[in-house]
Amino acid sequence: MTEPENRCRLVLIVPDIADADEQARIVADALKGGDVASVIVPQYGLDDGTFQKHAEKLVPVIQDAGAAALIAGDSRVAGRAKADGLHLSGNAEALSEAIDKHAPKLIVGGGNAADRHTALEIGEVRPDYIFFGKLDGDIKPEAHPKNLALGEWWASMIEIPCIVMGGTDPTSALAVAETGAEFVALRLAVFDDPARAPSIIAEINALLDEKAPRFED
């Protein structure tokens, strides 16, 4: 699978499914649809032990498809499941501690960057990426305008890559790409109808291939 290095790429957020086997099967199917840079695995309401079982099923499926598996929030689960990284939604201090402890062995990124000031504080600790939005923030068809604005501002002046949360409409990926952001995160846009997830990923990649702006080397 060729990776479109010079345009915005897709990041998936695993859907909230109580059955770990079903969740892993749906994600595995989706990843057959085409290029995905990484997959974030949220804990949702699971207790730590159950979350670990989900992670241990999901991580190999994600890695076998050539994507990076990022566990949200729990470094112990990330380690035990042999994930590629850790997605944190805390402040700059929390990210800094995790980077000191786990980088470069693990990818460490995220942040709760709701405004420019917080984003710059997070940027100072040099995470692998910054995330604009919430993992379950896809509540409207389009990406949140504030996140689009933050992504455009960030991408125009800071080298640390950014992921911007998209909306429930798959075409919201293009609006994110047009900000200059390196990655667009989608959840319900892909997984709302699991049977269609592979074809939706193929369609999003085709749309980005055709219309997304290209990055300069």
Each residue's pLDDT tens digit, 128-149: 999 999 999 999 999 999 999 9
- Per the prediction, the chain carries an average pLDDT of 96
Which residue type sits at 94?
Answer: A
pLDDT of residue 5: 73
For the ranges 4-8, 44-48, 156-160, 164-168, the lowest mean pLDDT is seen at 4-8
pLDDT at 202 over 50: yes
Which residue type sits at 84?
Answer: D
pLDDT classification of 1: cutoffs 50, 70, 90: very low
**Rounded to 10 degrees, what is the CA torsion of 177, 128, 186, 112?**
-100
Cα gap 27→65, rounded to integer Å: 10
Cα gap 181→135, rounded to integer Å: 17
Span 73-96, average pLDDT: 96
- Measured CA to CA in angstroms, residue 209 lies from 33, 94, 112, 114, 145 at distances of 14, 36, 30, 29, 23
Q: Is 160 helix (H, G, I), strand (E, B) or coil?
A: coil
What CATH number does domain 11-208 carry, 3.30.1490.20, 3.20.20.70, 3.40.109.10, 3.65.10.10? 3.20.20.70
pLDDT at 2 over 80: no
pLDDT of residue 216: 81
